[in-house]
Amino acid sequence: MSLPHAILTALLERPSSGLELTRRFDRSIGYFWSATHQQIYRELGKLEQGGLIEAVPQPPSRGQRKEYLVLPAGRSELTRWVGQAQDPKPIRDPLLLRLRAAAVVGTEGLDVELQRHLVEHRRQLDEYLEIEQRDFPAGGGSGGRSGGGDRLHHLVLKGGIALETFWVEWLVEAIADLGGERPERS
């Protein structure tokens, strides 16, 4: 049950309408928890019904913009969730699975896929690095200046950077390994 809490977080950072939230889920929050507009609208409905958020009073008609803000109940629910015990989710990755399958049925077409993934992960890594340079310039230590919020944001970003770095390095090794295998067969 992460989506409602992702939305609460986003709305606390800034009250928004559904469409604005959707856009913010295409970057920022969405970097580690993606969601489509359908999910978001549905969830906004549930959260409002549950009394965790509230639409700012406006004539609510169909094609009309609706802005939401978080109620105290929503904030305390989010606080509770942050400290709640949750087991780490096991890895669930189709690409690793495909390599395992390739060990049985052969690697045909796989090298192209690895290349594609490598390009994409490099792109994402660059994007993160740019954000880091923009939002957290120089200060490797982030040494105590500016509130804890920034420090946490940087920590999350560094998580993303390290993850993409892992993928890039692993893919480079995998591609080399796969390429080095061909000679056996020719």
Span 127-146, contacts to a copy of itself by CB under 8 A: 144
Closest approach of DNA to the CB of residue 9, in Å? 14
For the record, the structure tokens of 84 come out as 């709640």
Q: Which two tokens stand for residue 54?
A: 């509230």
Helix spans in the chain (H): 3-13, 18-24, 37-49, 72-83, 94-105, 110-135, 148-179
Give the residue, chosen from 12, 66, 154, 161, that forms a contact with DNA under the rule CB under 7 A. Answer: 66
Q: Are 7 and 43 in contact (CB under 8 A)?
A: yes
Does residue 102 belong to the site contacting a copy of itself (CB under 8 A)?
yes
Binding DNA (rule: CB under 7 A), the pick from 7, 8, 11, 44 is 44
Rounded distance, CA 54 to CA 29, Å?
Answer: 21
Residue 17 binds which of DNA, a copy of itself, none (CB < 5-8 A, kind-dependent): DNA
β-bridge mates for residue 109, sequence order: none
Should residue 42 be labelled a site residue for DNA when binding is judged by CB under 7 A? yes
Number of residues located near DNA, criterion CB under 7 A:
25
Output DSSP code: residue 153: H
Site for a copy of itself in 4-33 (CB under 8 A): 5-6, 8-9, 12-13, 29-33
What is the distance between the alpha carbons of residues 155 and 148, in angstroms, rounded to a whole number? Answer: 10
The least distance separating DNA from the CB of residue 158, rounded to whole angstroms, comes to 24
Residues contacting residue 132 through CB under 8 Å, at least 6 positions apart: 154, 157, 158, 161
38 binds DNA (CB under 7 A): yes
Binding of a copy of itself by 98 (CB under 8 A): yes
The correct pick among 75, 122, 132, 136 for binding a copy of itself (CB under 8 A) is 75
Torsion of CA 11, 17, 22, 26, to 10 degrees: -60
Query: Which one among 19, 55, 56, 101 touches a copy of itself, defined by CB under 8 A?
Result: 101
Residues in touch with DNA (CB under 7 A) = 1-3, 17-20, 34-39, 41-42, 44-45, 60-67
